[in-house]
A and B are shown apart, each in its own frame.
Chain A
């Protein structure tokens, strides 16, 4: 589709070498993390740290999958992350389209509201938000877990979608309007198919945030059957005076796998998607 001039073959070879050396630095900690998940606790406390495990052990993973109620925590994480992601996709694309392509009163104010919310440090609204959720009677419920995270993820998603959709040609939409198509029809039939790349981008970003969120599930869940994976793993790994690093690393590996899977699957759209972002 787009081809930018390529450097000469030798320069390209050198580039591969440089990139590979750089890759060692970038992937290093991740590799250490995965290797450490297979180490026993004593070895992990060694200073300086080891790389390849001296005594490979599956105990950490065994604890995660059998020692704690993994299915419940995993299911909760999936429910929360999926609900937030799907909700965000719908919400952000609709508002993004409206802000980008529909002239309506209050459009500017709304956009400023979105950007403004993006800039508020999230720590400051944390406690008042919990009190509010408690008053709604949503503590320890799935909506109580999902909606606050959704409120947090919304602004970035709206910004992303608005930037992308505003790049789509007006003619397409105008001619549809002249033909008498309603906005909802235009949105579903024209915008959504064209915005697939941005939607993929949004999926990855939202999923990563919702899946890894620790504080909101920690505070919103009152019984262990509503815990998500990050909360459960923190419960079992971090003690009052010492931490089980092996368990922590194994937990980190388990938690990162779905995220990487989604990244790898969607990344071809992902790239194309943010292409249009920021265009105004």
Chain B
């Protein structure tokens, strides 16, 4: 009996073990292309750029990069004494605080409207609201400048009809950033709209029906059915939008060049300028400070919107 039992068990045990081992091997096999690509094209550059941030490498050292001076945390310390960088960091913080909620809220609103609100022409509207994502930034800039023109622009003309004297939107240090915030939210909304449209589709109808039977108003349904079930999608949307918008560069570059008086200068613009000046070590340090901010915000979102 014992002699019978053992042979039966051992082969099974061996099969299970090797199955797991085999599965692990296959998993790494699946991971191999990404890992190979990463190892070949990302690992080296990431390490090199991080190392660069601890040196004073400049454009003039490009042919002899290994001969540069190691300066430790010098670049990082200098950054926080750099008025322009600190300004760009504050600008970026203000921007993200304004733009991320605006992008997400408007994307959700439009998605809701295109989901439950209307039945016809859905494709038409979806494409239409997605267009800012694919419109050339030059065209976007021309039209927005046309709208925000202090004297003849549409926005100020409308304000004038209700008796308000509109400001010089892009030239006024106070109003330039809000203009950029609205424009960037307008531009980024399309992609997130589609993300939410999908997320909304996934909520099963029975939950709504149950709520309606219980007498919940449409607003209550939104608060207690839609929003909670949308949580995971919300996490993805907020994280991706934050990562993207923390690195915003195109909109301020084209509309205001970071002005007036550096009030719309973003960290990415400062990084870009520094790379342009050939201050590779300094620019790398700046990039990694931005990286830390990105990580911090991402962690915050994961904590806040962790699925229950």
Chain A contacts to B: CB under 8 angstroms: 1-7, 12, 15-16, 18-19, 22-23, 25-30, 32-33, 36, 48-49, 90-92, 94-95, 97-98, 102-107, 110, 113-121, 123-129, 132-133, 136, 147-148, 150-151, 154, 156, 158-159, 163, 182-184, 187, 197, 201, 208, 245, 248-249, 252, 256, 259-260, 263-264, 267, 270-280
Q: Are A256 and B134 in contact (CB under 8 A)?
A: yes
Q: Are A91 and B233 in contact (CB under 8 A)?
A: no
Q: Are B221 and A5 in contact (CB under 8 A)?
A: yes
Contact with A along B223-246 (1 / 0, CB 8 A): 000100000111111001001000
Chain B contacts to A: CB under 8 angstroms: 20, 23-24, 26-28, 30-31, 33-35, 37-38, 40-42, 44-46, 48-49, 52, 110, 113-118, 123, 125-132, 134-136, 138-140, 142-144, 146, 149, 152, 186, 190, 194-195, 197-205, 208, 212, 218, 221, 226, 232-237, 240, 243, 247, 268, 271-272, 275, 280, 283-284, 287-288, 290-291, 294-295, 298, 307
Known interface pairs A124-B287, A125-B42, A125-B45; A27-B31 also in contact (CB < 8 Å)? no
Cα separation A22 to B233 with both chains bound (whole Å): 24
Q: Are A183 and B27 in contact (CB under 8 A)?
A: yes
Of all A-B residue pairs in the complex, the 8 with the closest CB atoms, nearest first, are A278-B236, A33-B139, A252-B136, A274-B198, A125-B45, A124-B287, A278-B232, A275-B202
**Would you give the shortest CB distance from A152 to chain B, in whole angstroms?**
9
Q: Are A120 and B46 in contact (CB under 8 A)?
A: yes
Q: Which residue of B lies closest to A260 (CB)?
A: B134
Q: Which single member of B37, B143, B240 contacts A147 (CB below 8 Å)?
A: B37
Please indicate which of the listed interface residues B41, B110, B126, B132 has the most CB atoms of chain A within 10 Å of its own CB: B41
Interface of A is mostly: helix
Q: Which residue of A lies closest to B233 (CB)?
A: A278
Q: Which single member of A2, A49, A147, A208 contacts B205 (CB below 8 Å)?
A: A2
Q: Which residue of B lies closest to A135 (CB)?
A: B44
Cα separation A133 to B283 with both chains bound (whole Å): 21
Q: Are B46 and A2 in contact (CB under 8 A)?
A: no
A-chain residues with CB within 8 Å of residue B136 when the two chains form the complex: 33, 248-249, 252, 256
Q: Which residue of B lies closest to A127 (CB)?
A: B280
Known interface pairs A16-B118, A95-B30, A275-B202; A27-B275 also in contact (CB < 8 Å)? no
Q: Which single member of B28, B128, B138, B226 contacts A249 (CB below 8 Å)?
A: B138
Q: Which residue of A lies closest to B144 (CB)?
A: A29
Q: Which single member of A22, A91, A259 contacts B37 (CB below 8 Å)?
A: A91
Cα separation A256 to B136 with both chains bound (whole Å): 9
A-chain residues with CB within 8 Å of residue B40 when the two chains form the complex: 132, 136, 147, 151
A-B contact pairs, 9 of them (CB 8 A): A19-B110, A32-B143, A115-B298, A123-B283, A124-B49, A151-B37, A267-B127, A277-B232, A279-B232
Known interface pairs A15-B113, A19-B125, A187-B30; A102-B212 also in contact (CB < 8 Å)? no
Known interface pairs A2-B204, A102-B27, A104-B28; A117-B291 also in contact (CB < 8 Å)? no
Q: Are A263 and B37 in contact (CB under 8 A)?
A: no
Q: Are A94 and B30 in contact (CB under 8 A)?
A: yes
Q: Are A125 and B268 in contact (CB under 8 A)?
A: no
Q: Are B233 and A274 in contact (CB under 8 A)?
A: yes
Q: Which residue of A lies closest to B39 (CB)?
A: A151
Q: Are A267 and B27 in contact (CB under 8 A)?
A: no
Cα separation A276 to B201 with both chains bound (whole Å): 10
Cα separation A280 to B35 with both chains bound (whole Å): 23
Cα separation A30 to B128 with both chains bound (whole Å): 9
**Would you give the shortest CB distance from B253 to chain A, in whole angstroms?**
13
Q: Which residue of B lies closest to A257 (CB)?
A: B134
Q: Are A124 and B288 in contact (CB under 8 A)?
A: yes
Q: Which residue of A lies closest to B272 (CB)?
A: A123
Q: Are A91 and B118 in contact (CB under 8 A)?
A: no
**Would you give the shortest CB distance from A51 to chain B, in whole angstroms?**
9
Q: Which single member of B20, B131, B233, B290 contacts A27 (CB below 8 Å)?
A: B131
Q: Are A123 and B271 in contact (CB under 8 A)?
A: yes
**Would you give the shortest CB distance from A236 to chain B, in whole angstroms?**
15
B-chain residues with CB within 8 Å of residue A7 when the two chains form the complex: 116-117, 218
A-chain residues with CB within 8 Å of residue B272 when the two chains form the complex: 123
